[in-house]
Structure 1
Amino acid sequence: MSSSAIREIGCYSPQDARDREMWQRLQDFCTSEPQAFGRNPETGHVTGSAFVMSQDMKSVLLTHHRKLNRWFQLGGHCDGIADVPFTALKEAYEESGLKRIRPLSAQIFDVDIHEIPGNAKECAHLHYDVRYLFQAVAGEIVASGESHALAWVPLSQLEEVTGSPGVLVLRDKLAPFLKQHCQ
Structure 2
Amino acid sequence: MKRDSLLSLLASYEPEPGLEAEMHNDTVDFVKQHPDCFERSLLKGHITASGWVLSPGKDSVLLMHHRKLDRWFQPGGHCDGDPNVREVAMKEVMEETGITALQALHDGIFDVDVHLIPENKDIPAHFHYDIRFAFKAAEGQEIVLNSESKDVQWVPVSQVQHSNDSESIMRMVRKTSLFAAPVD
Fold agreement, TM-score > 0.5: yes
Q: Pairwise mapping of residues 86-101 of structure 1 onto structure 2 (< 5 A)? A: 86-101=87-102
The one of 6, 9, 27 equivalent to 1:8 is 6
Residue 113 of structure 1 corresponds to 114
- Change in CA separation of 1:52 and 1:100 when aligned onto 2, cut-off 3 Å: same
- Per the alignment, do residues 102 and 125 of structure 1 end up closer, same or farther by CA in structure 2, a change over 3 Å counting? same
Q: 2:39 aligns to what SS in structure 1?
A: coil
In structure 2, what is the Cα distance between the partners aligned to 1:142 and 1:159?
A: 23
Q: Pairwise mapping of residues 84-163 of structure 1 onto structure 2 (< 5 A)?
A: 84-138=85-139, 139-163=141-165
Q: Which residue of 1 aligns with 2:48?
A: 47
Contact 1:41 1:122 in 2 (8 A): no
Q: Is the 8 A contact 1:54 1:135 kept in 2?
A: yes
Contact in 2 for aligned 1:6/1:27 (Cα 8 Å): no
Aligned 1:54-93 pairs, distance under 5 A: 54-93=55-94
TM-score by length of 2: 0.89
**SS at 2:62's partner residue?**
strand
- 1:102 to partner: Cα distance: 1.1
User: What is the CA–CA distance in structure 2 between the aligned matches of 1:166 and 1:15, rounded to whole Å?
Assistant: 12
Asked if residue 169 in structure 1 is aligned to residue 159 in structure 2, the reply is no
If each structure's strand is expressed as a fraction of its own residues, which one has the higher value? 1
Amino acid at match of 2:148: E
Gaps of 5+ in 1: none
Counterpart amino acid of residue 124 in structure 1: A
SS at match of 2:108: coil
> Could you tell me whether the CA contact under 8 Å between 1:41 and 1:125 is conserved in 2?
no
RMSD (Å), alpha carbons: 1.7
Alpha-carbon distance change, 153 to 6 in structure 1, aligned in 2, over 3 angstroms: farther
TM-score (norm 1): 0.89
Q: Distance in 2 between the 1:98 and 1:86 partners? A: 14
Q: Deviations over 1:120-172 (max 9, x none)?
A: 12000000001000011041111111100001011111111112222121121
What is the aligned partner in structure 2 of residue 25 from structure 1?
26
Deviation at 1:6, TM superposition (A): 5.6
How many pairs does the alignment contain?
Answer: 174
Assess if the C-alpha contact under 8 Å between 1:52 and 1:61 holds in 2: yes
Once the two structures are superposed, residues 74-110 of structure 1 have per-residue CA deviations (whole angstroms, 9 ceiling, x without a partner) of: 0000001111111101101111112311111121010
**SS of equivalent to 1:167:** helix
